[in-house]
Amino acid sequence: MIDRSQQPPLHDLEEFDLPSPQCVVLPNSVKLWVLDVGDVDVTRIDLVFNAGLHQQSQLLQALFTNRMLREGTKLLNRAQIAEQLDYHGAWMDQNVSFEHSYVTLYTLNKHLIPIIDLLSQMVKQPVFDAQVLEVVKQNNLQRHLIAMQQPSTQARRFFQRLVYGSQHILGQMADAADYEAINVDILQEYYQQWYNSDNLTIYLSGRISNNCIDLISQAFGQPFGKGKKGGTNHHGIIPLQSRKQQFKEMQGTTQSSVLIGKSTIDLHHPDCLKLRVLVTLLGGYFGSRLMATVREEKGLTYGIYAVLNPSPYDNTLMILSDCDHNFVQPLLSETYHQIDMLQNEQVSADELTLVRNSMKGEMLRAYDSCLSLSDAWIYLHTMGLPDDYFHQFWQTINTITASDLQHLACSYLNKDTLTEVVAGEKMS
């Protein structure tokens, strides 16, 4: 019998390796990546097109083209599509990134035949109805207008434009006029150019049978579409910006939003994995330096976070928080104080162990499901990263030293290169 009064022994996991997908090449040369690792009869299907923001000729074109795929086909209207998804217990998600558009569908294996047929119709036979588009536009416009009233939204938009400029894809932000400018012709043009079999990659994960692969091959294995072949634009590094301090006044807000950050090294830089550890130590988990001091010790905010957002061009380092207007300056001062400490003092062994355990636990949680493994491989392939990237990251977490972190803080957290944005009411 297990002695419940004794804690089980702790064992550190030394390696982290993801199951590798099998690559099946369909008759039309489309690559189908198969992760047959499920223990329940559920399948996740991802269609990834080389058709993202980078390929659009005007703002929101890629987003609305992708969104309208579920709003009607030559055989089914939007209500019938929604009814079919609901009846079969399927769930669909759509997203657009800088260089790709994604259509993701989760389904029970017993409903593969009707669901794959429905997916094929949506992708290959969409109808861009003007009346339906107007409804979708207005719904999205209302969400945009509501978001624009939030200081956090204004701070992020202002920050992106300051750091990258309005001409760079990372600095281009849609306004209400851009929503109004979208029409059926614009979406059809984008669809015809980029939604074709030459631009398609498919991912399957879950309990995958030969029948599922055959059904995918029948649905997507023949050439379709006659548009362009999309490309990628990796390894683009944005020059570091000189420090800017900007205030965006917003009357009537209850809090101010603070954003400090910069454009920094890209995913392929040899320091990138180590920099992710440093950013986590600074503000990437609940026990981080910023959370422990700014939130717990000084009570200036409910939350403060540091993140490293990747793109095909660079990584964007951001420190984000919302606080009372009168606490903005103390929050900024303490944030810079913590950066100074990372540059001037080495972290303790106990703190480094805590960060390591937190990061490794987060990796294990992120990919503990057969369905979430698709996210890992899609990320590697779309970002042009090596297959052993996560293994390298795990090893970096295990081997990084306090001296490494101090050196990285001096190199990449130089306050003279940080852009500081505050959105909210004027401070009293």
Residue-wise pLDDT for 76-93, tens only, equals: 999 999 999 999 999 999
β-strands 101-108, 42-49: how paired?
antiparallel
Task: Note the pLDDT of residue 89.
Answer: 95
Task: Note the pLDDT of residue 428.
Answer: 58
- What's the rounded Cα separation, in Å, for the pair 156 and 307? 13
The closest alpha carbon to 422, from 321, 317, 339, belongs to 321
Task: Note the pLDDT of residue 235.
Answer: 44
Task: Note the pLDDT of residue 243.
Answer: 67
The closest alpha carbon to 327, from 303, 304, 300, belongs to 300
- What's the rounded Cα separation, in Å, for the pair 42 and 110? 9
Token pair 């409903």 is found at 111
Q: How far is the CA of 392 from the CAs of 13, 366, 370, in angstroms? A: 14, 16, 21
Instruction: Give 147-204 pLDDT, tens digit per residue.
Output: 999 999 999 999 999 998 888 888 899 999 999 999 999 999 999 999 999 999 999 9
Give me the tens of pLDDT residue by residue for the chain, a chain 428 residues long: 788 888 888 777 777 888 999 999 999 999 999 999 988 899 999 999 999 999 999 999 999 999 999 999 999 999 999 999 999 999 999 999 999 999 999 999 999 999 999 999 999 999 999 999 999 999 999 999 999 999 999 999 999 999 988 888 888 999 999 999 999 999 999 999 999 999 999 999 999 989 999 999 999 999 999 877 766 554 444 555 566 788 988 988 989 999 999 999 999 999 999 999 999 999 999 999 999 999 999 999 999 999 999 988 899 999 999 999 999 999 999 999 999 999 999 999 999 999 999 999 999 999 888 889 999 999 999 999 999 999 999 999 999 999 999 999 999 999 999 999 999 988 65
Domains of the chain, earliest start first: 22-220 (3.30.830.10), 244-424 (3.30.830.10)
Task: Note the pLDDT of residue 167.
Answer: 84
- What's the rounded Cα separation, in Å, for the pair 390 and 387? 8
Task: Note the pLDDT of residue 410.
Answer: 97
Q: Residue 102: enclosing H or E segment and its boundaries?
A: strand 101-108
Structure tokens at 264: 């920094």
Q: What share of the chain is helix, strand, coil (3-state, %, to 5)?
A: 45, 20, 35
Structure tokens at 7: 């804690």
Predicted TM-score of the model (pTM): 0.91
Q: In three state form, how does the secondary structure of 257-273 look? A: EEEEEEEECCCCCCCHH
